[in-house]
Structure 1
């Protein structure tokens, strides 16, 4: 098997928004992502993008660009339904939470420490919902 492109992880989630352009700007501001690539069509809709954070990568795109296709959709377009969440490691969960809160993120679980036992690990994390309803966990590793 050939390796993925340089600097790409083996799994890269694609996240779709009704307004992908606004979502990218918000993800940069609220969560600290960096835009590696952003491609728009003639109408200014994002058809492909790559956002990086702490060695991880996501793709963000415009929901509903393909006529006749019922996917991809934003949670906002399906009454808030979600079938997944994203988990991202950060250096300081509390500081990250305050940054997200200041940008208008809905904090659904306040930062808390979870200790999974002496032989396992401990972390500090919080859960948030973004501007279109995707759920994110931001986690700081404490031990293990």
Structure 2
């Protein structure tokens, strides 16, 4: 048995949505994710999915499928509260931002360059909020 399995990074975030099916379609359109797997129950709710982008992997699931649990919930169901954001490296932060904007993403921080000095690194990045309120940082490494 190989740990982790082939094609899986050591850390894989799970992101939950009130309408996971719509979120998966939107994440593919707006951010360029590729849907590797999508499993639905008899009611058509997503019980498991895998989306990949540039070697990274996330799982997207339906919030509230387990009765009696207060988690997982989408930010929309928690009055906009977020306890995390996701950071994804892309090849061109500006082009990626325009793709996300065209798909209706709320750009919360426009693309900007952060330079931490010659001894460190420089990135270009932007922050966006998705259709249910999750925050995402998309980053392009410029130097370092």
TM-score normalised by length of structure 2: 0.99
Residue matched to 2:52: 52
Alpha-carbon distance in 2 for matches of 1:113, 1:65: 40
**1:90 Cα shift?**
0.1
Q: Does the residue aligned with 1:100 lie in a helix, a strand or coil?
A: helix
Equivalent positions of 1:19-38 (< 5 A) are 19-38=19-38
CA RMSD of aligned residues (A): 0.9
**1:69 Cα shift?**
0.7
Q: Deviations over 1:44-103 (max 9, x none)?
A: 000000000000000000000001111000000000000100000000000000000000
**1:114 Cα shift?**
0.3
Q: Deviations over 1:12-63 (max 9, x none)?
A: 0000000000000000000000000000000000000000000000000000
Alpha-carbon distance in 2 for matches of 1:82, 1:2: 34
How many residues are aligned here? 144
**1:7 Cα shift?**
1.1
Q: Does the residue aligned with 1:49 lie in a helix, a strand or coil?
A: strand
Runs of 4 or more consecutive aligned structure 1 residues displaced over 2 Å after TM superposition: none
**1:3 Cα shift?**
2.3
Segments of 5+ residues of structure 2 without an aligned counterpart are: none
TM-score normalised by length of structure 1: 0.99
